[in-house]
Chains A and B, each alone.
Chain A
Amino acid sequence: MADAAVPLTARRWRVPPVLAMILAIMTLWYAAAVPMNVKEVLTQAERAGVAVSPPSAAERRDMGHLVLVAQNPGALGASWSLDRARLPAPHQVLVELYDSTIDEELNGRRGIVRSGSLSNRSLIYHGWVTLNATFVGFLIGAGLGIALAIGIVHSRVMDMSVMPWAIVSQTIPIVALAPMIIVVLYSVGVQGLIPKAVISAYLSFFPVVVGMVKGLRSPDAMQMDLMRTYNAGAPTVLWKLRLPASVPYLFASLKIAIAASLVGAIVGELPVQQGGLGARMLAGSYYGQTAQIWAALFMAAGLAAVLVWAIGWLERRTLRRIGMSA
């Protein structure tokens, strides 16, 4: 994914067009909320005594959303303030986001101010649970990936036997394994953070292997020959030439790996309802709390953005320190 995406992210971008696009998306969102929610809105209006054009809900059920909007322009006042909207308006999501983070922690009975620990109803707590699993899984996966890549580069046998499987495994929807890993580890007595971290590690493992093998092989024949004239052994070549040369490849794959790791942690939280953003989304979908799902989604998006940005920041600092920045 990063192969082609990297040069584009590196290019500078201007603020006004991006702002314009975000504004356009917001406008579309508000506009879309009207037809999406029209049935519930009309039902509410009918109960409140407003005249609605086909008067019974049974008649309205099979009608198109846009037709209903066109026939009842006067009764749409509640479109952006429904409790359980099919599509909550952006400001409703933001309010829910505020309520379930800052407000819950500061003013809630179980919030950090009153009880001294994070409230289990707040997204900060659930985000923290997910973040922990993501980090542990990412560290395990990236560590194993780098180790395997070093093995592959130094051993023909490993290269020829493991590498094709590593590539094939990229084409397999590994996330399908997630529920099974959770349940199997649970039945062996392992639960909590570790099963989720295993899935995260599994997902972040292969991008790192493939990227690192490419990176460790990136020194050209001239550089390798130079090392040979110094009579350098394999460990010296690895430490002084291969590892530094692989740094840009490493970071490109780490960015993919941390995003995959977050997805793994979220999917891993679906089967076991013990906190985390994934559990929060599933609970929201069970109870029809759409604003809650959207808030969890925004939180996950924010986490992903911060994580990828953090790796990018580390990349820029590292490359500058070892003198490879463009």
Chain B
Amino acid sequence: MTLVVLALALWAGGFALNVALANGPARGTAAARLAVPVVFGATVLAMWECLVRGLGVPPVILPPPSQIAQTFGANLGLLWRDFVQTILKGALGGYIIGCGAAFLTALLVDRYRYLREGLLPLGNFMAALPIVGTAPILVMWFGFGWQSKAAVVVLMVFFPMLVNTVAGLQDTTAMQRDLVRTYAASWGQTLIKLRLPAAMPFIFNGLKISTTLALVGAIVAEFFGSPTLGLGFRISTSIGQLDLGMVWSAIVVAALAGSVFFGLVTVIEKRLTFWHASQRGGR
């Protein structure tokens, strides 16, 4: 019972601290901007720990964070191999192939008006479909290895990437195009000097959306059959053994991988599109 009271006290304390930080003199600074969400996250974790222990929630329903951290630390090797199998081979392999193919298709679609009018409505339609559903078919075709996961990822990232890249390639004004025409620039020169740079923000938007989709595709495809490693395999088998600490550890790995992957793409975007309005400080 004391733990439950402690949890409530922690919540009140964390909230008061955040109110003070958010409305205090330091509210605009980068430190406060970072501190407030960190305090919030830490409070939630601490409350989780206290409530699970205080109310005696069985660990097969919700393990406390300390137990998850323990399982995570004790199985680093296993989780690393899962990470390599699912993220590096399945998700990243499919991501590179899918985004690359979508980019090349976008160049073609952009070049030929007929293709654009034919493929874009289909692409928009496909981007909204539950493509995860093709996972059982692709696992049947490409076997249980990482290739089938990469194939699911290719299908999942292709259409959002295609739609975004085509939208980006069309994002030039008539004035800019006229200027390049007065220089007698060829199609290739226009592409490299004007339209690809103009398309960069859109391309990165597509790349960022695709990071999450890639991880989702690789993990869900493993539910349909996988070798005896991989994050999706770990999640589905550990649930069968009611080893929830392991399930949460695998989810932590997926979450970390997702954030780092997204973060990397964002960093590259900042480096390459520093000139764009959305990147020039002062929001």
Which of A's residues lie within 8 Å of B, judged by CB? 1, 3-5, 7-9, 13-14, 17-18, 20-22, 36, 86-87, 156-157, 159-165, 168, 170-177, 179-180, 183-184, 187-188, 255, 259, 262-263, 266-267, 270-271, 277-278, 281-282, 284-285, 288, 290, 293-294, 296-297, 300-301, 304-305, 308
Q: Is the CB of B127 within 8 A of A1?
A: yes
Q: Is the CB of A157 within 8 A of B15?
A: yes
- The SS class assigned to the B binding surface is helix
* B113-156 CB contacts (< 8 Å) to partner A: 114-115, 117-122, 124-125, 127-130, 132-134, 136-137, 139-141
Q: Is the CB of A177 within 8 A of B128?
A: no
CB distance from B21 to the nearest CB of A (A): 8
CB distance from B257 to the nearest CB of A (A): 8
Given contacts A18-B117, A157-B19, A172-B259, contact A282 B224 (CB under 8 A): yes
14 contacts between A and B (CB under 8 A): A5-B160, A5-B164, A8-B120, A14-B117, A17-B114, A162-B40, A165-B37, A172-B255, A176-B219, A176-B220, A177-B251, A179-B235, A285-B140, A296-B133
With A5-B163, A165-B37 given, name 8 new contacts (CB 8 A).
A1-B160, A5-B124, A160-B21, A176-B220, A179-B235, A263-B132, A267-B220, A301-B129
From A4, A157, A170, A267, contact of B22 by CB (8 A): A157
CB distance from B95 to the nearest CB of A (A): 13
A71 and B203 CA atoms in complex are apart in Å by 45
Is B247 among interface residues, defined by CB-CB distance under 8 A?
Answer: yes
Q: Is the CB of A157 within 8 A of B18?
A: yes
From A171, A177, A284, contact of B136 by CB (8 A): A284
A259 and B232 CA atoms in complex are apart in Å by 22
Interface size on B, as a range, is 35 or more
A218 and B220 CA atoms in complex are apart in Å by 36
Is B61 among interface residues, defined by CB-CB distance under 8 A?
Answer: yes
* B219-241 CB contacts (< 8 Å) to partner A: 219-220, 223-225, 231-232, 235-236, 239
Is B202 among interface residues, defined by CB-CB distance under 8 A?
Answer: yes
9 smallest A-B Cβ distances: which pairs? A285-B136, A17-B118, A161-B40, A21-B118, A171-B262, A173-B215, A17-B117, A160-B36, A164-B37
From B21, B118, B239, contact of A183 by CB (8 A): B239
Closest to B136 in A: A285
Q: Is the CB of B254 within 8 A of A180?
A: no
Given contacts A157-B19, A293-B136, contact A308 B27 (CB under 8 A): no
A176 and B128 CA atoms in complex are apart in Å by 20
User: What is the total of A-B residue contacts with beta carbons within 8 Å?
Assistant: 182
Q: Is the CB of A290 within 8 A of B130?
A: no
From B166, B167, B247, B254, contact of A172 by CB (8 A): B254
Is B9 among interface residues, defined by CB-CB distance under 8 A?
Answer: no
From B41, B167, B212, B258, contact of A7 by CB (8 A): B167
| A20 / chain B contacts, CB cutoff of 8 Å | 114, 118
| A305 / chain B contacts, CB cutoff of 8 Å | 125, 128-129
| B2 / chain A contacts, CB cutoff of 8 Å | none
- The SS class assigned to the A binding surface is helix
| A259 / chain B contacts, CB cutoff of 8 Å | 128-130
Closest to B124 in A: A9
Is B250 among interface residues, defined by CB-CB distance under 8 A?
Answer: yes
Which of B's residues lie within 8 Å of A, judged by CB? 15, 18-19, 21-23, 27, 32-33, 36-37, 39-41, 60-62, 114-115, 117-122, 124-125, 127-130, 132-134, 136-137, 139-141, 160, 163-164, 166-168, 202, 205-206, 209, 211-212, 215-216, 219-220, 223-225, 231-232, 235-236, 239, 244, 247-248, 250-251, 254-255, 258-259, 261-263
Given contacts A21-B118, A161-B40, A176-B254, contact A5 B167 (CB under 8 A): yes
| A18 / chain B contacts, CB cutoff of 8 Å | 117-118, 121-122
Given contacts A4-B164, A8-B120, A294-B137, contact A172 B244 (CB under 8 A): no
CB distance from B263 to the nearest CB of A (A): 8
A277 and B133 CA atoms in complex are apart in Å by 9
Closest to B137 in A: A293
A294 and B125 CA atoms in complex are apart in Å by 17
Q: Is the CB of B212 within 8 A of A171?
A: yes
Scoring A168, A171, A305 by chain B CB atoms within 10 A of each residue's CB, the highest score goes to: A171
| B62 / chain A contacts, CB cutoff of 8 Å | 184
From B137, B168, B247, contact of A290 by CB (8 A): B137
Q: Is the CB of A22 within 8 A of B212?
A: no
Q: Is the CB of B250 within 8 A of A176?
A: yes
Q: Is the CB of B130 within 8 A of A176?
A: no
Scoring A163, A255, A278 by chain B CB atoms within 10 A of each residue's CB, the highest score goes to: A278
A3 and B171 CA atoms in complex are apart in Å by 14
Q: Is the CB of A180 within 8 A of B247?
A: yes
Q: Is the CB of A176 within 8 A of B36?
A: no
| B140 / chain A contacts, CB cutoff of 8 Å | 86, 285, 288, 290
| B202 / chain A contacts, CB cutoff of 8 Å | 4
